[in-house]
Amino acid sequence: ILQEVFDQLNVLESIHILYCNSLNSDFVQQIIKKFSDCLENFGFASMMFNEYNEPKRQLFEFITKYCKNIRYFDSGIPDDNIIYLFIENNQNNINYLTIEANTYNTDYEELSSIVLQNLGQVLPSKLEYLCLSLSFTISDLEIFLKNSQNTFIKKLLISDIVGRLDNEFLFTLRNEVNEFKLHNIIVKEFHDLHSSPCIFIDNYF
């Protein structure tokens, strides 16, 4: 039956798989293997460490291997080093990237630090949108900014999930905002820039 369904899907132009935790991994892999070039948007919702089980890990490895046209990637699994290979494999197409940690994971601080120390090196030369919802320290943030200085990021969103950064919103601090303006950078509140996967698909498809 599945083969009959697949045979009728040859006119597909794009596929979007977002937050489909209830889907059978084997079924998703069959779709991806046949239509790997059509998969443009993919995301895992933020999840507990024990929710990122072996089938999900294998699915992510499968997508990393076969899909090279990803434009939008939303990762709630910052503990998997495959993320960096995934980004490198989609350098020519990926344009919207979200990476988030969950405070329910006991090692969220370590995971956040690893992401900030390694992500900048694998980013493409240009990103339309990069959203980081992590646990930040000033030193890790400086490392990320230094390593990503060769990437033009149109919209950079930073959300500190534990509030370690300055409690005052940067966009309300006149001197800092004026300093950014000198470099043609506009500072806005996080929620003014945040874009969900559904909003992205509605706007571009």
DSSP state of 17: E
Residue 3 lies in a domain: no
Is residue 78 packed enough to be buried (19+ CB in 10 Å), middle (13-18) or exposed (0-12)?
buried
Pairwise CA distance, residues 91 & 184, whole Å: 26
Pairwise CA distance, residues 53 & 37, whole Å: 26
Q: Residue 195: which of 131, 123, 115 has the closest Cα?
A: 131
CATH number of the domain within which 35 lies:
3.80.10
pLDDT single digits (tens) 26-42: 777 777 777 777 788 88
Q: 109 is in which domain, residue-wise?
A: 11-204
Q: pLDDT class for 13, splitting at 50, 70, 90?
A: low
Average pLDDT, the chain: 76
Residue 1 lies in a domain: no
pLDDT single digits (tens) 109-139: 888 899 999 999 999 999 999 999 888 888 9
pTM: 0.76
Residue 15 lies in a domain: yes
Pairwise CA distance, residues 163 & 84, whole Å: 26
Residue 32 lies in a domain: yes
Going through 19-95 in order, the beta strands assigned E by DSSP cover 39-43, 72-75
Count up the domains in the chain and report the number. 1
